[in-house]
Amino acid sequence: MREDLSFLARDNFPTLLTTLQEAGYHTVGPQLRDGAIVFDTLNSVDQLPKGIHDQQAPGSYRLEKSDSPRLFAWANGPQAIKPYLFTPREVLWRSQRSKTGELNFSTVEPEVKPTAIIGVRPCDIAALYLQDKHFLQQEKVDPYYKKRREQLLLIAVNCTHPTNTCFCASTGDGPQAHYGFDIVLTELDDGFLLEAHNQRGGALLEKLPVQPATEAQQQHAEHALTHAAEQQTRQLPGQNLNDALFKNLQHPQWQKIADRCLGCGNCTAVCPTCFCHSEGELAALDGQSSEHHREWDSCFSPGHSYIHGITIRPDTRTKYRQWMTHKLGGWHAQYGRSGCVGCGRCISWCPVGIDLTAEAAIICGEGDKDE
C-alpha cells in the first residue's frame, strides 16, 4: 500500500476548484457544449460533465446522460488542451506606416495568465510533451508557446472509461498518467484518489481536506485502470513504424484510403500532437498597417506542400501518406518517438471513419487486406 496517495471525498471536490481560484489561477475544465465535451473556463464544478458517457466509433461521437455522480466517466472530446498552448490563430506582430512613410514593426505579446486545467487525460499530457519538444526544445524556442507553458498547472485525471477508438495502452501513453502533471486524480464512486507529482502539486494537496487513501481505495483504483487498459482493442502494429512505412510508399492501400478520404483535414485538426501552421499578412484597406498572423495548417490543405510554384503533394493519396508516414514514422528521427499518443480522435472525428490503426496495419503487412 502506498503512503503518498490521498483521498478527497466527492462532497469536498469543489474545494479543489476554489483553492486554485483563490491561488489566482484562471481555471479551465471539461464541459458540455454543442453535443461534445470541450475545455473552457470553469467557474463552478457544476459545469463539469456529471453522469455523461461517450460512445465513440470510427466516424462517430455520441454522448449519453446517466444518473452516475461521476464527473469523468468519458474518454475525451474533439480537442485536447493544445489550443491553450498553440492557439488556432494569433497575431505575431504588426506593422504601421509612419507619416513620413517608414514602416515600424511591433511584436504582439500574448496576454497570459496563470491557468490551471482540470481533467487533462494522460494521452493529452503525452501529446503536450511532444509539443514541448517541437516548440521549446529546438534551436529556436517559440516565445508564444513558452509563455503559456510556463503559466500552466495541470490536474490530470486517469482514464477509467476509455472508448472504442482509444489505444493509448498500446502507445504507452495511458490510461494512467506517470509524468507531466501537478496532481493526478483517479475517480472512484465516492470520491477521488489524489497523487502529487511535484512540489507545487504537494503544496496544493496540503490545502485540501484529504485523508490518507485506504488499501481498498487504492485497489479499487488499480483495478479500474487495469480494466481500462484491457478494454482497449485497437493498437498500432509496433512502436516504431518508420522502416515499415517508408518501405511501403507505393503500397496500393494508399490509393484505397484516398478513394475514401475527403481531404477535410479533421484528423489533423483534432490531433493533439499536430503542430503545422501557416503564416500570413493581413493588410488594412488603407495600406497603412498590417498584421502578421499564424494559424493552424494541415498536410491536407492545398498550400501545405506548395513550394516555388509547385504543389509537391497534389492528390489525396500523397497527402494522407505524408500525414501517416510523418506521424508514425518520421517523428522517431525528429523527436525520438512516434507522434501518436493513441487518443483515437482522428478515428472518431474522421467523417468517413478511416482508422489509422487498421490502415497502418495493412500497409505494414499485418492487417486485413480485404478491408
Q: Among residues 244, 354, 358, 360, which is the contact residue for ligand SF4, using CB under 6 A?
A: 354
Nearer to ligand SF4, 237 or 265 (CB): 265
Alpha helix (H) ranges present in the chain? 14-22, 82-85, 122-135, 143-150, 168-171, 199-206, 215-231, 242-246, 253-260, 266-270, 316-324, 331-335, 345-348, 356-363
Are 120 and 81 spatial neighbours (Cβ–Cβ below 8 Å)? yes
Q: Is 335 in the site for ligand SF4 (CB under 6 A)?
A: no
Q: Among residues 263, 291, 297, 367, which is the contact residue for ligand SF4, using CB under 6 A?
A: 263
Q: Residue with C-alpha cell 483515437?
A: 344
Q: How far apart are CA 166 and CA 215, in angstroms?
A: 29
Nearer to ligand SF4, 42 or 341 (CB): 341
Name residue 102's amino acid.
Answer: E
Q: Among residues 33, 351, 369, 371, which is the contact residue for ligand SF4, using CB under 6 A?
A: 351
Task: Tell which positions 305-334 bind ligand SF4, by CB under 6 A.
Answer: 327
Q: Is 362 in the site for ligand SF4 (CB under 6 A)?
A: no
Phi, psi of 184 (to 5 degrees): -120, 140
Task: Tell which positions 267-306 bind ligand SF4, by CB under 6 A.
Answer: 267, 270-273, 300
Q: Is 341 in the site for ligand SF4 (CB under 6 A)?
A: yes
Q: Is 72 in the site for ligand SF4 (CB under 6 A)?
A: no
Nearest approach in angstroms of CB 56 to ligand SF4 is: 11
Tally the C-alpha atoms within 13 A of residue 140's C-alpha that lie toward its C-beta: 2
Q: What is the 3-state secondary structure (H, E, C) of 171-211?
A: HCCCCCCCCCCCEEEEECCCEEEEEECCHHHHHHHHCCCCE
Q: Is 342 in the site for ligand SF4 (CB under 6 A)?
A: yes
Report how many residues bind ligand SF4 under the rule CB under 6 A.
25
C-alpha cell at 66: 446517466
Nearer to ligand SF4, 20 or 261 (CB): 261
Q: Looking at the DSSP assignment, which residues form a beta bridge with residue 107? A: 93
Nearest approach in angstroms of CB 120 to ligand SF4 is: 14
Q: Which stretches of the chain bind ligand SF4, using CB under 6 A?
A: 261-267, 270-273, 300, 327, 340-346, 350-352, 354, 356
